[in-house]
Amino acid sequence: MKPDTAAMAAMDSGSGSAVAGAPALTPEEIDRAKRFLQQTHDELVAATRGLSEAQWKFKPAADRWSIAEIVEHVATVHSVVVGPVSQRLAEAPAPPRERDCRRADALVIEGFPNRTARFKGPDALQPAGRVTPEESLEALAQGNAELLRRLENAPDLRGHAIDSAPMKAISNGEYETMDGYQWILAAAGHAARHTGQILEVKADAGFPPK
């Protein structure tokens, strides 16, 4: 689950200036994403602090994830965003000029953490249970650091957009793609979404007291 730094480098290469016609990120937008990433990361880590092995492994039902599986999933999604997604973005076309990117940003920030809408992710993102919680948390921290670095060093995050099934779902089809900045916001929102899931597991009546 280690982030694909080679893919990040490939996405950065040749990006000394923003893509022509793409709106540049403002300092306020960069700061907002950085704070969103750090806040959602810190909240997820706090929700797992001090758990026993039994608590990490507890499942409220056979078809529900344990906290260990939830954290593994979030770390996997981070690694996909900084790896394969970044590779695809580097080769993707620019979004339509008429696209309201600020509205799309708001939909990501508001929609991804919202657990009222449920949908199953691709099989490749399902937890496999082959890593320890400590390894998942370390991979998650590495992924978060890569996303923060991307915000600081890549000027063309608005310059490319690729398809996103979750974006299509939360926007009711208004938007079908996300640009590089929105994928970073989505990673943070996804972490917040699953922090809510962790809290649901901990609130279950059968959750081990220790």
pLDDT in tens, 173-192: 999 999 999 999 999 999 99
Q: Is residue 134 part of a domain?
A: yes
Q: Is the entire prediction scored with pTM above 0.85? A: yes
Residue 140 lies in a domain: yes
Predicted pLDDT at 8: 35
pLDDT at site 22: 65
What does the pLDDT read at residue 4? 39
Angle, alpha carbons 58-59-64 (nearest 5°): 155
> What letter does residue 17 receive in the DSSP assignment?
S
Q: Let me know if residue 3 belongs to a domain.
A: no
CATH of the domain at 166: 1.20.120.450
* pLDDT tens sequence across 119-128: 777 888 999 9
Tell me what pLDDT residue 6 has.
35
Q: Does an H or E element contain 114, and which? A: none
* Residue 209: inside a domain: no
Question: In terms of Cα–Cα distance, which of 205, 160, 188, 180 is closest to 78?
Answer: 188
Q: What angle do CA 34, 89, 181 make, to 5 degrees?
A: 20
Q: How many domains does the chain have?
A: 1
- Which residue in 79, 76, 43, 90 sits closest to 193, CA to CA? 43
Quick one: pLDDT at residue 9?
A: 35
Would you call 179 helix, strand, or coil by DSSP?
strand
**Looking at the domain assignment, is residue 29 inside a domain?**
yes
Name the band, by pLDDT with cuts 50, 70 and 90, for residue 21: low
Residue 10 domain-assigned (yes or no): no
Q: Which helix (H) or strand (E) holds 43?
A: helix 27-48
Q: 105 pLDDT exceeds 80? A: yes
In a domain, 61, yes or no: yes
pLDDT category at 17 given cuts 50, 70, 90 is: very low
Percent of the chain's residues with pLDDT above 90: 79
Structure tokens given for 117? 């809408």
Does residue 19 have a pLDDT over 70?
no
Q: Which residues contact 91 (CB under 8 A, 6 or more apart)?
A: 160
The enclosing H or E element of 163 equals strand 161-163
Q: What is the mean pLDDT of residues 36-53?
A: 98
User: Closest Cα to residue 198, out of 39, 50, 70, 37?
Assistant: 70
Mean residue pLDDT of the chain comes to 89
Which residues constitute the domain of residue 94?
Answer: 24-203
Phi, psi dihedral angles at 167 (to 5 degrees): -65, -40
pLDDT at residue number 122: 83
3 vs 32, higher pLDDT: 32
**Is 155 domain-assigned?**
yes
